[in-house]
Amino acid sequence: MDQTERPLNTAELDRLERLLVADNFREEAMPLDMLQGLFCAVGSAPDLIPPSSWLVVALGENPVYESTEQAQEILDLVMRFYGQTVQELDDGQGVTLYVFPDEAGEDDLATWCEGYLEGVMLSDADWYEHGEPETVEELLFPFMLLSGRMREAAEDAGDIVPSLEEERDLRTEAANSMGDSVMAVYSYWLDKRISHAPIRRDGPKVGRNDPCPCGSGKKYKSCHGSSDTN
């Protein structure tokens, strides 16, 4: 196995977690749990989303690194974490979710699900247009619920929202089955996936001839951009 394809061990995951919340970096980068949510959505999407599209979401448009060595280290760890997550999805045995306790001591799945929904929005292929809208809405319901977006959307639209007690029960059920929900989305798109969807993104993107964001001084295509086809 290539060194860059090795799953992260516990020490490396801890290291990545610390790097992502370091003082010089945390304003730009996603924390580890949100990052895994992003990767699960990217790896399950109906179209191919290359690293050049999700890196600026995961690490920010203008990350500040302490050194070239730190930039190289965090990019290597992030790419391996991405590969590890996608491999777990492909294996079909479920993804080991990385979540952290909130102030009440409960698993903070809101942050994880927020990362997932960020990944959904990265698709050039609209999830609702390329699938059955009602099915897609049902599949994304747990993520919308646990992220808090469902209640916000309902309140903004003036729709009826469940009582706090009803929502608590729904959230408990969604949290307990989150692993199954992740795999259900992946399985749904498996046969519908667009292998070569055109890239039409208007948002920020690292060009192949632009300097690599790792700060190596090399062009992106000669550095981390070589992973775009993985």
Asked if 77 and 17 count as a contact pair (C-beta separation under 8 A), the reply is no
Q: Which of 61-65, 81-85, 185-189, 218-222 has the lowest mean pLDDT?
A: 218-222
Asked if 116 and 40 count as a contact pair (C-beta separation under 8 A), the reply is yes
Of residues 133 and 202, more confidence is placed in 133
| Average per-residue pLDDT for the chain | 82
pLDDT band at 41 (very low <50, low <70, confident <90, very high): very high
**Is the pTM above the cut of 0.95?**
no
pLDDT at 87: 94
User: DSSP alpha helices (H): ranges in 45-177?
Assistant: 51-59, 68-91, 109-121, 127-130, 133-147, 149-157, 164-176
Contacts by 18-25, CB closer than 8 A, 24 or more apart: 19/70, 19/73, 19/74, 19/77, 20/74, 24/64, 24/65, 24/66, 25/63, 25/64, 25/65, 25/74
Is residue 122 pLDDT above 80, yes or no?
Answer: yes
* Helix 109-121, helix 133-147: angle, nearest 10: 140
